[in-house]
Amino acid sequence: MEFPAKLQKEPEGGYTVTFPDIPEAITCGESIDDALYHAKDALESAMEFHFEGGRPVPAPSKLKRGQRMIALPPSIAAKVLLLNEMLRLKVRPIELARRMGTTKQEVNRLTNLKHATKIDRIDEALRALGKRLQLDAA
């Protein structure tokens, strides 16, 4: 899962990075490389706001001229897909736990970005929601 980022050269020097799809993700850097390095952290941090607020993460828009793509780590991208599906179906953690035959605490860990989760378990959760996780190499 990759989101387009807009880099803007600042008059006083350095670059500001914003994400059209994730407006709360804003950062800067002294050089393009530095700004892009910080952009990944800003994007990951913004995901936490969506998770904590129970808000769906918008799908990435298409790359426009002058933008750069910033990728989420696969572990976070998989959790984003799970969160979005739970919200779309209005399935609360307790209900997903029932469908998976597990505890609410485990489902809470599945949707916690700071908790390391095996990708197979996220796939199981998505299957309990009628979906499956698909991976591909690009």
Dmax of the chain from CA atoms? 57
- pTM as predicted: 0.89
> Which residues, 6+ apart, have CB-to-CB distance to 18 below 8 Å?
5, 6, 8, 25, 26
Tell me how far apart the alpha carbons of residues 1 and 110 are, in angstroms, rounded to a whole number: 18
Closest CA to 32 of 8, 62, 4: 8
For helices 93-100 and 119-128, what crossing angle results, to 10°? 100
Query: What distance in Å separates the CA atoms of residue 6 and residue 24, rounded to the nearest whole number?
Result: 13
For the stretch 90-132, pLDDT in tens is 999 999 999 999 999 999 999 999 999 999 999 999 999 999 9
